[in-house]
Amino acid sequence: MAQTHQSQLQLLYNDARLATLFQALDELHTAASDGDVHVVTTLTRDEMVGWLRDLVYTAEETIAEIEKETPKNLASRLRLVK
């Protein structure tokens, strides 16, 4: 029996995953707006702010990396697989 190889494409970041992240942040924002952050987390105020600052920093850095990636750079990493 011949062995077959299937290539698998796994999308790690798609609309659904990013929507879930957005929803979590939106719910946290709602709690903060209502003065109820203490109801939705056991983190201290400083811990929560620290996490949010880390998330914002990481998001900004990711945007910068994506935006600086030119089609030429992307094309040089693509290769035909047979």
Residue 80 lies in a domain: yes
Q: What domain range is 52 assigned to?
A: 43-82
Query: What's residue 79's pLDDT?
Result: 66
Residue 3 lies in a domain: no
Q: Name the residue with higher pLDDT: 7 or 13.
A: 13
Number of domains in the chain: 1
Residue 63 lies in a domain: yes
Q: How far is CA 17 from the centre of its chain?
A: 8
Query: What's residue 13's pLDDT?
Result: 85
How confident is the model over 21-67, as pLDDT tens digits? 999 999 999 999 999 999 999 999 999 999 999 999 999 999 999 88
Residue 76 lies in a domain: yes
Residue 21 lies in a domain: no
Residues in the chain, total? 82
Residue 12 lies in a domain: no
Question: What are the φ and ψ backbone dihedral angles of 48, each rounded to 5 degrees?
Answer: -65, -45
Residue 25 lies in a domain: no
Residue 70 lies in a domain: yes
How confident is the model over 66-77, as pLDDT tens digits? 888 776 666 666
